[in-house]
A = this chain, B = another copy of it.
Amino acid sequence: MVNKQSPLPIYYQLAEEIKQLIRSGELAPGDLLPSEREYAEKYNISRMTVRQAINNLVTEGLIYRQKGRGTFIADRKFEQNLAGLTSFSEDMKKRGLTPSSKLLSFQLIEPDEATLENLSLGANEKVYEIVRIRMASDLPVAVETSYIPWKVAGDLQEADWPDSFYQFIEEKLGLTIAYGDQTIEAVLASDFEISHLNIEQGSPVLLMQRITHLHDEPKTPLEYVKSAYRADKYKFRMRMNR
């Protein structure tokens, strides 16, 4: 239900409402959505505002438009066949490996400007910087640095830190994770990575960077992670539909 008193933009609320109907199964692939004018009348908002909500859902691949016909729910398979957003721990368990990690550093800092920007934070806001060696069945496979805004996690001590941050967020804080935007690139290992991953000078690593967003106010960034994976022991696999 669109609430004009809410601080959330109206287009965003409408988009979320439609997403919820899709998630719950109340709207199934192929179903026709109400028209733009119907939404505008129903919520007493402008058709352009409705269109912005619809545009966002189209961009996310959840719905599609046909001129002169209407707006339809997209085939669910498109989304389902993408690899889902999981934490390192969840990934390793899925592969039948024992995930563990060795904490190298845990501190509350004022991060650099790029990190502030990635997390949509203002100047002087603090984040937890956590540096860990990620291991699969006792073999170091990645060096990971994650940044979590203090305002998301609150006051936490090193001993409090969970192995799976995503489960912590969902179960202990009761927040909902929406999605992550991630890039993968290849770089040469830094000295720091070389020493902690037991690899040689000149070895490449797979550098994965991910910003994870909450399911709330326009997608609060929850965490920014940089992980350098041993390229000799790690590759990513995925299926993409045509």
Contact = CB atoms under 8 A, between A and B. Distances in A.
A126 to B, nearest CB: 22
Interface string A168-196: 00000000111111111111100000000
Quick one: copies of this chain in the complex?
A: 2
Given A240-B84, A240-B85, A186 B202 contact: no
Interface in A65-91: 79, 81-85
B187 A184 contact: no
Contacts of A182: 237-240
Interface in A183-242: 183-188, 202-206, 215, 231, 234-242
A83 B236 CA distance: 14
Contacts of A241: 79, 82, 84-85, 178-179
A242 B184 contact: no
Contacts of A238: 82, 181-184, 238
Contacts of A231: 185-187, 204
Interface of A: 48, 55, 59-61, 79, 81-85, 166, 176-188, 202-206, 215, 231, 234-242
